[in-house]
Structure 1
Amino acid sequence: MLIRRVSILAVTMLAFSSTIALAKPTLLLRQVIAQSPLSVPHPNGGKSGGWLKDLNLTSQQLQQIKEIHNQSKQQIAQKSQEIRQGQQELHDLITGTATKEQVRGKYNQIELVKQQLTDTQFENTLAIREILNPEQRQKFADRMYKKNVRPNPPPAAQHN
């Protein structure tokens, strides 16, 4: 009985850790895509524009980004909900009496939806990229990858 509990715990940990690890690359894209062009300051004043303000976008570019965001907003929300629901179902299968094949099937189903979500987010990034000039593209790329790059840890002190 103890072995069974330990096995279930190990499988659960692996399933959820791989889910988190696989989801992490999409977090940055989701953050970039989910930024609302509406937060860009209006000529009369207003909120700080964040990454969009940093790009010095024209009003036409802002409108195009807003359209890109609006076109995929529902699809992204639906896929995100499917993933959350699938993860709950996977948890229930792992803790229940489901067969290994049922658990694996649910896991594969979740991974497929995650890939679809990532593809949609990537397509949005490409669409935004297409409306930017070279200088804006550089700032866009720097902003996207800045948060994922961690500084190298200082070298360990050498003891002779």
Structure 2
Amino acid sequence: MFCSRVSILAIAMITVSSTIALAKPTLLSRQVIAQTPTSVPQTNGAKSGGWLKDLNLTSQQLQQIKQIHNQSKQQIAEKSQVIRQEQQELHDLIAGTATKGQVLSKYNQIKLVKQQLADVQFENTLAIREILNPEQRLKFADRMYKKNHPH
């Protein structure tokens, strides 16, 4: 039971913490052209489990976080799939004979979907924040900041 709670939290936190990375697209960067992985490796969840435990969440908080994750899971999966498909199309356009306008149009489509995905993930962050007490919020924010700004 404890492992399933940690797993659920790890998935939720990974989903939430990737918002900043997706919100900063750069023109035709490797990140835009590269394929987005279909799932998060288990090692990331395992690393996250330790600090999630440090939040000392109640069973009610765990249930609420699970609910937040479940409410957006489908939407996140759909947008991620669209991004992967459009990134492949962008790759093909760049490699082919498409015009500059066609390539830019595809890039802008990808940017839009990435922003929509980032918005959903940030809404999850805000929803999770609302169920945490001040001490938990501080730990949550510190961990998110350290993960997204390692230096």
Quick check: TM above 0.5? yes
Cα deviation code 1:116-138 (max 9, x no counterpart): 00000000000000000000000
Partners of 2:150 and 2:90 in 1: how far apart? 32
Partners of 1:91 and 1:115 in 2: how far apart? 20
Q: How many residues align?
A: 117
Shift of 1:80: 1.0
Look up the SS of the partner of 1:97 in the other structure.
coil
Identity of aligned residues (%): 78
Residue in structure 2 matched with residue 103 of structure 1 by the alignment: 103
Partners of 2:88 and 2:31 in 1: how far apart? 15
Paired AA for residue 28 in structure 2: A
Partners of 2:86 and 2:93 in 1: how far apart? 10
Cα deviation code 1:76-98 (max 9, x no counterpart): 11111111111110010111111
Partners of 2:124 and 2:49 in 1: how far apart? 20
Paired AA for residue 79 in structure 2: K
Partners of 1:50 and 1:147 in 2: how far apart? 14
Residue 19 of structure 1, aligned match among 18, 24, 32: 32
Bigger RCO (CA 8 Å, 6+ sep): 2
Residue in structure 1 matched with residue 141 of structure 2 by the alignment: 141
Residue in structure 1 matched with residue 80 of structure 2 by the alignment: 80
Residue in structure 2 matched with residue 57 of structure 1 by the alignment: 57
Shift of 1:69: 0.4
Paired AA for residue 103 in structure 1: V
Shift of 1:54: 1.1
Q: Which has the higher helix share?
A: 2
Larger Rg: 1
Shift of 1:16: 2.9
Partners of 1:16 and 1:150 in 2: how far apart? 21
TM norm structure 1:
0.65
Shift of 1:49: 4.2
Paired AA for residue 150 in structure 1: P
Structure 2 unaligned regions, length at least 5: 1-26
Structure 1 unaligned regions, length at least 5: 1-13, 24-29, 40-47, 152-160
